[in-house]
């Protein structure tokens, strides 16, 4: 969908725009810096808006999240403290308004390497999984920051929430009745995933090379606004889907990516148990993507409603797929969106 016509009050309303600019100026002044005269480069999306400002510190980035994603500002600050060296250090955060100010991190990883260099993907996925493992003891803290709870025991409530939306129900068509008739299968899948004993952690939900930077020799992960607390293997849904659907990665390559991600977790569970959890976790991760589509600025909800319902229905239909019997080859989950 083309979002070039999106108009957000944050930029269109002079009072709100001045409030934003004043906040950026004040935060820079606290660091002995100031804005330069160059106009900002603004990028608006229904779920967030960003602006690149020129400053005496160099380029700086402002980000505002839509309602439901405001937690990203607090989460970004917390991750900087909990897993230093794994996120771009923020210059400032406003946890109430969901605003973040960041230094320029340079080109994303996808601009520094061939997009189908799967050796780079393996290293990135391993680093991300290490970050997840370090966050396992922080699950309660993450929930306290209002990061949504999509652990296996909570997925049934989220499914009910999405099915109750009239637009989504209409977009599902016959799929609605099929989902309702198979609810016991869905519940059994959730219980089986919970019974794996693999601890929950932070799921980025939109992990790809465009959200990763290399600073000081290490991977820094960005754009946490879609995040949820979930089964950690759910994070494989997007990278494995992109590898398969956009770069024609075969099953052998996807196994390499999966195993690179799982390696840090083998200290907690046998590799065979981890591999067996991946197909179910990536399939149920469709609900996390549905939630990502639900976060929009109020002024974009009406024009986006049909597209959001269509994408949500497409993702929910992925829950109807039979549980794969061959965990060595069926690794994908539904394709990513957005």
What does the DSSP assignment read for 211-269?
GEEEETTEEEE---TT-EEE-GGGGGHHHHHHHHHHH---HHHHHHHHHHHHGGGGGTS
Closest by Cα among 232, 332, 236, 234 to 284: 234
Query: Is residue 277 domain-shared with residue 308, that is, in the same domain?
Result: yes
Q: Count Cβ neighbours within 10 Å for each residue of 84-122 and write b for 16 or more, e otherwise.
A: eebbbebbbbbbeebbbbbbebeebbeeeeebeebebbb
Q: Has residue 150 got a pLDDT over 60? A: yes
Q: What is the pLDDT of residue 193?
A: 97
Q: Has residue 270 got a pLDDT over 90? A: yes
Q: What is the pLDDT of residue 105?
A: 92
What is the Cα–Cα distance from 285 to 236, expressed in whole angstroms? 9
Averaged pLDDT score across all residues of the chain: 92
The answer as to whether 3 is a domain residue is no
Query: Is residue 143 domain-shared with residue 244, that is, in the same domain?
Result: yes
Stretch 20-32: mean pLDDT = 97
Q: What is the pLDDT of residue 19?
A: 96
Q: Has residue 1 got a pLDDT over 80? A: no
Cross-strand pairs, 53: 60
Q: Please report, in angstroms and rounded to a whole number, the separation of the first and last CA atoms in the chain.
A: 8
Q: Report percent pLDDT > 90 for the chain.
A: 84
What is the Cα–Cα distance from 71 to 120, expressed in whole angstroms? 30
What is the Cα–Cα distance from 165 to 67, expressed in whole angstroms? 18
Last residue of a domain, one of 57, 75, 103: 103
291: left (phi over 0), alpha (psi -120 to 50) or beta: alpha
Q: What is the pLDDT of residue 263?
A: 97
Q: Has residue 328 got a pLDDT over 80? A: no
The answer as to whether 227 is a domain residue is yes
Question: Cβ distance 213 to 219 under 8 Å?
Answer: yes
Last residue of a domain, one of 80, 103, 126: 103
Stretch 72-76: mean pLDDT = 97
Q: What is the pLDDT of residue 274?
A: 97
Query: Is residue 160 domain-shared with residue 134, that is, in the same domain?
Result: yes
Q: What is the pLDDT of residue 48?
A: 92
Instruction: For residue 210, give the CATH number of its domain.
Output: 3.90.1200
Q: Which domain holds residue 182?
A: 109-320
What is the Cα–Cα distance from 90 to 27, expressed in whole angstroms? 11
Query: Is residue 213 domain-shared with residue 279, that is, in the same domain?
Result: yes
What is the Cα–Cα distance from 5 to 17, expressed in whole angstroms? 18
Stretch 62-91: mean pLDDT = 95
Q: Has residue 4 got a pLDDT over 60? A: yes
What is the Cα–Cα distance from 176 to 33, expressed in whole angstroms? 55
Number of domains in the chain: 2
Strands 60-65 and 99-103: antiparallel
Query: Is residue 51 domain-shared with residue 151, that is, in the same domain?
Result: no
- 334 confidence band (pLDDT: 50, 70, 90): very low
**Which residue did the predictor score with more confidence, 44 or 320?**
44
Those residues whose C-beta lies under 8 Å from the C-beta of residue 308, and which sit 6 or more positions away, are: 167, 293, 294, 296
Strands 201-203 and 228-230: antiparallel
Stretch 264-288: mean pLDDT = 96
pLDDT tens digits, 224-243: 999 999 999 999 999 999 99
Q: What is the pLDDT of residue 160?
A: 96
Please state, in angstroms and as integers, the Cα–Cα distance from residue 144 to each residue in 29, 139, 149, 194, following that order.
31, 9, 10, 21
pLDDT tens digits, 116-126: 999 999 999 99
Query: Is residue 158 domain-shared with residue 298, that is, in the same domain?
Result: yes
Stretch 281-300: mean pLDDT = 93
Q: Has residue 28 got a pLDDT over 70? A: yes
Question: Cβ distance 102 to 61 under 8 Å?
Answer: yes
Instruction: For residue 59, give the CATH number of its domain.
Output: 3.30.200
Q: What is the pLDDT of residue 7?
A: 81
The answer as to whether 332 is a domain residue is no
What is the Cα–Cα distance from 162 to 155, expressed in whole angstroms? 11
Q: What is the pLDDT of residue 338?
A: 42
Q: Has residue 331 got a pLDDT over 80? A: no
Stretch 210-219: mean pLDDT = 91
What is the Cα–Cα distance from 224 to 24, expressed in whole angstroms? 21
Query: Is residue 76 domain-shared with residue 198, that is, in the same domain?
Result: no
**Which residue did the predictor score with more confidence, 328 or 292?**
292
């Amino acid at each position: 969908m083309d979002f070039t016509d999106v108009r957000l009050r944050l930029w269109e309303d002079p009072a709100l725009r001045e409030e934003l600019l004043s906040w950026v100026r004040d935060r820079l002044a606290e660091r002995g810096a100031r804005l330069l005269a160059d106009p900002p480069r603004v990028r608006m999306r229904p779920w967030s808006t960003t602006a690149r400002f020129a400053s005496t510190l160099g380029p700086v980035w402002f980000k505002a999240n839509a309602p439901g994603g405001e937690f990203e500002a607090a989460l970004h600050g917390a991750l900087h403290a909990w897993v230093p060296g794994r996120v771009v250090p923020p210059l400032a955060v406003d946890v109430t308004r969901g605003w973040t100010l960041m230094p320029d991190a340079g080109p994303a990883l996808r601009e520094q390497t061939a997009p189908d260099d799967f050796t780079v993907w393996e290293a990135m996925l391993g680093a991300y999984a290490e970050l997840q493992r370090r966050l396992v003891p922080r699950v309660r803290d993450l929930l306290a920051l209002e990061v949504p709870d999509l652990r296996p025991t909570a997925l049934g409530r989220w499914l009910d929430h999405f099915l109750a939306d009239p637009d989504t129900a209409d977009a599902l068509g016959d799929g609605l009745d099929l989902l309702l008739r198979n609810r016991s299968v869905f519940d059994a899948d959730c219980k089986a995933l919970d019974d794996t004993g693999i601890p929950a952690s932070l799921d980025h939900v939109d992990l790809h090379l465009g959200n990763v930077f290399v600073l000081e020799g290490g991977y820094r992960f960005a754009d946490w606004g879609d995040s949820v607390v979930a089964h950690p293997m759910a994070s494989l849904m997007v990278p494995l889907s992109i590898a398969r659907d956009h770069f024609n990665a075969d099953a052998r390559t996807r196994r390499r990516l999966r195993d690179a991600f799982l390696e840090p977790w083998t200290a907690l569970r046998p590799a065979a148990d981890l591999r067996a959890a991946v197909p179910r976790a990536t399939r149920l991760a469709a609900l996390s993507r549905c939630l990502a589509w639900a976060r929009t600025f109020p002024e974009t909800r009406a024009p986006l409603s049909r597209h959001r319902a269509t994408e949500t229905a497409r993702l929910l239909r992925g829950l109807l797929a039979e549980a794969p019997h061959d965990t060595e080859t069926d690794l994908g989950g539904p394709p990513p969106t957005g």
